[in-house]
Structure 1
Amino acid sequence: MSETWTEQDVPDQSGRVAVVTGANTGLGFETARVLAERGASVVLAVRNTEKSKQAAARMTGDVTVQPLDLTSLESVRAAAADLRAAHQRIDLLINNAGVMYTPKQTTHDGFEMQFGTNHLGHFALTGLLLDRLLPVPGSRVVTVSSVGHRIRAAIHFDDLQWERSYGRAAAYGQSKLANLMFTYELQRRLAQHGTTVAVAAHPGMSNTELPRNSPAVVRLPLTWLAPLITQNAARGSLPTLRAATDPAVLGGQYYGPSGIGETRGRPKLVTSSPQSYDIAIQRDLWAVSEDLTDVKFPV
């Protein structure tokens, strides 16, 4: 597969419906912008609808806004109901939104903020929308992970919500590892249907608003080093766009930058950490996620 892939390689998306979470800034904005320019009907699924209306005004094409707060399962269910009412088919669901290194806090449902937002919110949304994707040949669920899935990362079944102790980096790592394990288990379940595939991507080190919750000791060096070690949001969105649109993509694959350490560069097929491929843990995480969200998948 080509390692010179750019947004110009995104094929025509006319007639396709794409739902992109967290699409008012950064990676999500750039992903939605390109899909809309290529002809897709794009839904910006976001918490801050005012910012999203401003973002939509900066895009060319058919772009609408859907309120979605991933920290609230009630909001996730309401958004899914709205989307199901508005769209008989969905071609692309891009689980892009996320939080990083937040202070210890919980979602509306009592989940640790990073695990609840990055994994459980998207898990629930996907389950509630999947029957709109299953009948559509070539439909895809793309979930955005991070190089952080390798850093102090494990699925802590004995303390998923970090009630006994809390570390920002470790909690973020767990949530991003969960994104990958969800993708791989979902793909196994989708394989028998033959229409929809699940794919993962990561943006490398991209200069976005995501690290804004990081402690100053982390945030300030990143600010100084950003020009040297990061790429802009448009470049960072390319692995997601490739995972979502390249005809050669297969279910269960993972895309990231091609440069040293996968920090920056053109998008290519990459591999995730060895533990992310542990099928037993993937299945256990799936079962726990279903219980916590009370969302059952039609696969």
Structure 2
Amino acid sequence: MAIKDQVPVDSGFPAKTDGANIIADIDLAGKTAIVTGGYSGIGLETVRALAAKGVQVIIPARNIPKAKEALADVEGDVRIEEMDLADIPSVRAFGDKMLEELESLDLLINNAGVMACPEEHIGAGWELQFGTNHLGHFELTRKLMPLLEKTPGCRVIALSSTGHKLSGIRWDDPNFEMEPYEKWQAYGQAKSANALFANALSRRLKDSGGLAFAVHPGGIFTPLQRHLPQEEMIALGWLDENGELSEMAKAGFKTPEQGCSTTLWAAISPKLEGKPGVYCEDCDIAEPTDPEGPMARYRGADPHICEDEAAERLWAMSEEMIGEA
């Protein structure tokens, strides 16, 4: 794909549609989905909507008791399994279990993530946000490829973000070993990686008829902001001086129920057939970023996440990094 492929298709759904309404008229009974981060924020609402439509939903969780508590009121076929995205052996063990127990996998929704956290390194020295948001999902998906390849019409959704505009891939220093750590650049790199991953994966699913897409869910207050002090959220314009939602946030932010809508649209929409690897936002394919527009920081796909060459370079680099684990 290329930036020219970022052409909206007029989905018919407003940006602030509740996710349950996206799939209200779609028959999903008997489907199987894995949703990482499915017990918090928009991941929880994604699970709730899918389970209500008869989907068997498997939620890999680092904290099993917390997951059980969060999912206690979710009706449907919901199953929790142990996995920690920051621990590659844990990811592989979960993948092996799924390969043994599942016959097919219709949806893999790589939703979990961390944002703007203090500096930490995991695995073979990987920066935490890149290692968790990208490499953990990269290895999970690779492990589950046999299931995806034998499931007609499977879809993989990678949760990216408008944060991709903050940084492309730091090819020579992805783990901030040569330069001082900067949490927003690290987040931006991880979100660019999520989008490029969907691009590269789409080619690997082509022969079996699968599709992969990147999704920006929108601005939503969830536990993702747990590492941000209140004064920083005030400086960002998300909160007013009293610590309440600012007028900008009230106008632009979505509820968690609305925040899962683009994920679910990308998971089921027939309008995305023949459009592998595109980046979606507000229940549609995102337009290319207008660099002169007033919303350039918050809307649109930047060219660097739509480059096939960069996507393949990232895939090869990720394989090498995983090999070092």
Corresponding letter in the other structure for 1:204: G
Equivalent residue, structure 2, for 1:236: 259
Q: Find 1:55's aligned residue among 70, 76, 88.
A: 70
- Counterparts of 2:144 and 2:162 in 1: how far apart (Å)? 27
Identity %: 38
- Counterparts of 2:70 and 2:210 in 1: how far apart (Å)? 29
Residues 178-223 of structure 1: CA distance to partner in whole angstroms, max 9, x if unpaired? 00011111112222x1421111111111121111112443234524
- Counterparts of 1:248 and 1:55 in 2: how far apart (Å)? 33
Q: Mind listing any 5+ residue stretches in structure 1 that lack a counterpart?
A: 258-266
Deviation at 1:101, TM superposition (A): 0.1
Higher relative contact order, structure no. (Cα contacts within 8 Å, ≥ 6 residues apart)? 2
Q: Mind listing any 5+ residue stretches in structure 2 that lack a counterpart?
A: 1-9, 288-300
Q: Find 2:228's aligned residue among 201, 204, 214.
A: 214
- Counterparts of 2:115 and 2:22 in 1: how far apart (Å)? 30
Residues 222-245 of structure 1: CA distance to partner in whole angstroms, max 9, x if unpaired? 243243431111101100011112
Which aligned pairs between 1:41-190 and structure 2 lie closer than 5 A? 41-151=56-166, 153-164=167-178, 165-190=180-205
Equivalent residue, structure 1, for 2:21: 8
Residues 40-77 of structure 1: CA distance to partner in whole angstroms, max 9, x if unpaired? 00001121111211233211110000111111101111
SS at match of 2:122: coil
Which piece of structure 1 moves more, 43-52 or 246-255? Answer: 246-255
- Counterparts of 1:3 and 1:160 in 2: how far apart (Å)? 39
Equivalent residue, structure 2, for 1:264: none
Q: Does 1:287 align with 2:316?
A: yes
Deviation at 1:247, TM superposition (A): 2.5
Runs of 4+ aligned structure 1 residues displaced above 4 Å come to none
Alpha-carbon contact 2:123-2:131 (below 8 Å) kept: no
Alpha-carbon contact 2:13-2:22 (below 8 Å) kept: no
Q: Find 1:255's aligned residue among 254, 271, 280.
A: 280
SS at match of 1:93: strand
> Could you state the TM-score of these two structures normalised by the residue count of structure 2?
0.83
Alpha-carbon contact 1:212-1:219 (below 8 Å) kept: no
Equivalent residue, structure 1, for 2:209: 195
Equivalent residue, structure 1, for 2:304: 275
- Counterparts of 2:28 and 2:61 in 1: how far apart (Å)? 22
- Counterparts of 2:11 and 2:212 in 1: how far apart (Å)? 21
Corresponding letter in the other structure for 2:238: L
The root-mean-square deviation of aligned C-alpha atoms, in Å, is: 1.6
Corresponding letter in the other structure for 1:48: N
SS at match of 1:142: strand
> Could you state the TM-score of these two structures normalised by the residue count of structure 1?
0.90
Alpha-carbon contact 2:51-2:76 (below 8 Å) kept: yes
- Counterparts of 1:156 and 1:30 in 2: how far apart (Å)? 33
Count of equivalent residues: 284
